[in-house]
Structure 1
């Protein structure tokens, strides 16, 4: 059964013309050398890990998966697609040869397969669903059958897909945006969770400074239930005086920890308890009946607050959690 694949022509479509003129597709990872003798995903993964020992297991697995697909899973006769972003056209064809190592066309992308190209398709001729599927950022990925059918239809007819209702287009775009947004938030939470305790404490202190407070951060060791004190003057003399406890752990915080935190507070204090492991139901109940105003902040709350105030964070705090801005059509 034929499968269909997209192979990116490098960043910005750098190799699009080379793909077209030489009737090939190619991918990188040139430092590994030929894949000819690396016949399993496990052998490729071991080679990737040996060449790049600093890579995380997930990055090793992802690279090994794409190399194995290119070397072994892609078959002669499978559909193949690549993209020229500058012209917004897709080049459609079929795989015509087995894997080979050929650095003569491009030394950075020496893993090569021959292709019989059939023609180009303008992105404007495709349905919204097809454009969304083709928008994935991986170097190599599979295409669902309906997208392949849409590409072949456009290749043959040179006519646009049946017009989608405006509402359908907006819903599709919104779904893609929400998907990207959710992934971005989850990746940001991963980065926050990977911080050590002292850096997380500094992140929380930086957030409070971005919100207009001056902060004093307790040194490591016995802090009598407070890691940060935030106030307008920085000394805690002026109100509001916010006392912050930061816990960086996987397990949830229970009611006893909340009671211990509240035990050392003054009547005029405000409390903020940050826990990357969340809070138990008893802890939430304890906070509701606290004798002082107390806010419990989970990792979700922390990431949301950091994103909302990111441009106000000082450079040192931004360096703890570097984020990039992206723009989306309104």
Structure 2
């Protein structure tokens, strides 16, 4: 597994460039990735506030990326927006690509031939738990690999096992625990049916101070929820909401145009899609004359967590959560 940056923000770049990549600011070239002790020293100079453990883990991952991964090995990265694992085969050695216009995480690259995709929801619970590890780079067991790959995989993989070194007992930061928690929460939300999802979005809007009307089951005539200060839509803002609970399907421009076609000048639109949106859908929303917000799965989870303290009992029952405290 090579994660595509925090919250998968580099996933599209990994696919476009046919690469996986790893990098830290302050690491100058391939030569820096040969001596772990020297690399630790260099990282410590560049990040004086970092703990020794975090420096050691960063150095270990960089050295592994450069020297332990081999051409022909299977590699996986993850898109948390679409909840898709992208599987491929490493096709080249580690190469250094300094570019001031690119994130530092793209500095050290390996060429990849991307193959099949696997939805997170198609995996067993042990596989989802294993792949939810917080490390940027880690080896995947053969049993989990067999779930990710079909019988028609491109080449057999090396059978890696997790090393029993300090990385195995890595103490995650609060940020990394938060990312892991987000994925677990999405696992729970994705199991909701379409009507429960509408109720969850309505609960979110109520937590934000609106009163809501949820459409009855059946044809919704282009609106699943109407939210407004008075609950009837007489007072502004009147927000019309469409909820699409299709985790494996991104909404395109046609769906956006269809939704906008039923809107009136005094209305605002909110389109929620757990499968996300295509680039063209965002273009369509930007040039709309009606104020329209597109909310994908990542943004929905962030909004839910931000407003959860104000959720009413009916909304909390849909996704029961408990707060935790973590030392900084």
The normalised TM-score by structure 1 is 0.49
Question: TM-score by structure 2 length?
Answer: 0.50
Larger radius of gyration, structure 1 or 2? 1
